[in-house]
């Protein structure tokens, strides 16, 4: 089987050189899709249990991660439904209803996942780079991440574009010419890239740029071993910022992981649109990476919890010493992200000094 998954088929009259996925290929892809999703369900469930047990949901930064993992959990449940499509018969009425419903749920959840990832990145960027505490926008994060995907996911219903897209149900990108030959579906491909893959590519690019800026900003403030407030150096605050860096890194992992996993799906859709056929290798990679999103979301949250609990335990043993800088911005990042008891408090946005960055005022 070559890259285009060509195979031979013949009946009593004709001999076909097929470019569509064979029945065995589709069943293999669907099995990968569903079985990997089960692993994601277990990991997301474990992460959410840990959050509830440690009562970390009281912190907004953890709630943003919880929303992300919760959406990933529901998406994984939806992906498990693909088991029902194994050995499917497209001619049956119940399949058409089931397929369109599954495709709608998939489109809604992947968009919701994308928006929560983008809001999480935006929230971290505003806090790390500009010292802005935007927890008052939490309602906006939730409402926009649910309502916008819900409206967008209804559009393919209007154009009747939901159907089989390769091996599973989504917005169709191929039309069948005969029993085993396909050609590109222009309307479906346009909707795929307009309603998800285009915006996703743009947002992931912006997220990666934001992560680079955040990383450089935090590294600069840490590695200079200085923190400037009113022109006076405070090296001890740099040490607090170094600890904050370790707390922030697990959160930064979310957009990075999703960007890497997105590449396989994006490549598969581009190939299918260009060649007018589905490639087995690309399709399997797409199925596996999309199903793994929940696993890595849950794993990232578990790692974050483990790091925070460990840091909080160590800091609680050394709380005897009081600091004269109760409103130190760098220390506030640690208090904000870790959930541990510290003597630092988050400053009001109006109290943030513009001269806090040694990278700028050095």
Mean pLDDT computed over 14-34: 73
Cα angle: 189, vertex 192, 193; to 5 degrees? 90
Q: Could you identify the residue written with the tokens 């010419």?
A: 177
pLDDT tens sequence across 162-200: 988 878 889 988 776 655 666 778 888 999 999 999 999
Token readout for 195 is: 């309603």
CA distance 98 to 24: 21
Q: How confident is the model at residue 1 (pLDDT cuts 50, 70, 90)?
A: very low
* Alpha-carbon gap, residue 172 to 165, rounded angstroms: 5
DSSP label of 97: H
Q: Assess whether pLDDT exceeds 60 at residue 322.
A: no
Per-residue model confidence (pLDDT) at position 248:
67
**Percent of the chain scored above 90 by pLDDT?**
34
Residue written as tokens 């690309």? 282
pLDDT at 10: 45
Q: What is the pLDDT of residues 218-245, one digit of tens each?
A: 777 766 655 444 455 555 555 565 566 6
- What burial class does residue 234 get, using C-beta atoms within 10 Å of its C-beta: 0-12 exposed, 13-18 middle, 19+ buried? middle
**Weakest-pLDDT range from 122-136, 176-190, 293-307, 329-343:** 329-343
- Average pLDDT value for residue range 64-86: 88
pLDDT classification of 336: cutoffs 50, 70, 90: very low
Which range is least confidently modeled, 19-28, 276-285, 310-319?
Answer: 310-319
pLDDT at 214 over 80: yes
**Cα–Cα separations (whole angstroms), residue 138 to 61, 74, 243, 332:** 10, 20, 25, 19
Which has more confidence, 282 or 166?
A: 282
Q: How far apart are the first and last CA of the chain?
A: 61
Alpha carbons 27 and 46: distance in angstroms, whole number: 29
The average pLDDT across 314-328 equals 48
State yes or no: pLDDT of 298 exceeds 80.
Answer: yes
- CA torsion 157-161-163-165 (nearest 10°) is -140
Give the whole-angstrom CA distance, residue 244 versus residue 247: 5
pLDDT, residue 251, reads 79
What's the pLDDT at 136? Answer: 87
């Amino acid at each position: 089987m070559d890259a285009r998954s060509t195979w031979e088929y013949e009946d009593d009259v004709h001999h076909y050189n097929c470019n569509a996925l064979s029945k065995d290929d589709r069943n293999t892809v669907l099995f990968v899709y569903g079985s990997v999703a089960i692993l994601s369900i277990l990991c997301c469930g474990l992460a959410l249990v840990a959050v509830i047990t440690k009562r970390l949901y009281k912190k907004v930064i953890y709630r943003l991660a919880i929303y992300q993992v919760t959406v990933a959990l529901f998406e994984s449940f939806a992906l498990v439904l693909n088991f029902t499509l194994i050995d499917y018969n497209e001619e049956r009425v119940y399949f058409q209803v089931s397929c369109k419903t599954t495709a709608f749920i998939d489109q809604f959840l992947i968009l919701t996942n994308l928006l929560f990832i983008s809001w999480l990145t935006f929230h971290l960027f505003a806090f790390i780079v500009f010292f802005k505490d935007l927890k008052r926008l939490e309602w906006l994060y939730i409402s926009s991440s649910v309502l916008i995907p819900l409206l967008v996911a209804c559009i393919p219903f209007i154009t009747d574009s939901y159907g089989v897209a390769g091996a599973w149900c989504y917005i169709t990108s191929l039309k069948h010419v005969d029993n085993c030959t396909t050609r590109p579906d222009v309307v479906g491909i346009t909707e795929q890239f307009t309603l998800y893959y285009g915006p996703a590519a743009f947002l992931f690019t912006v997220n990666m740029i934001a992560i680079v800026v955040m990383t450089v900003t935090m590294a600069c403030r840490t590695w200079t071993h200085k923190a400037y407030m009113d022109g006076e150096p405070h090296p001890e605050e740099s040490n607090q910022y170094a600890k904050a860096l370790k707390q922030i890194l697990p959160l930064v992992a979310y957009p990075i992981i999703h960007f890497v996993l997105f590449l396989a799906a994006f490549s598969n859709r581009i190939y299918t649109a260009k060649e007018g056929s589905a490639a087995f290798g690309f399709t399997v990679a797409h199925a596996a990476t999309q199903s793994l999103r929940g696993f890595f979301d849950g794993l990232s949250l578990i790692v974050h919890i483990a790091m925070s609990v460990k840091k909080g335990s160590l800091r609680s043993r050394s709380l005897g010493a009081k600091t004269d800088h109760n409103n130190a911005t760098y220390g506030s990042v640690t208090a904000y992200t870790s959930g541990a008891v510290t003597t630092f408090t988050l400053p009001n946005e109006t109290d943030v000094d513009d001269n806090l960055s040694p990278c700028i005022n050095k």
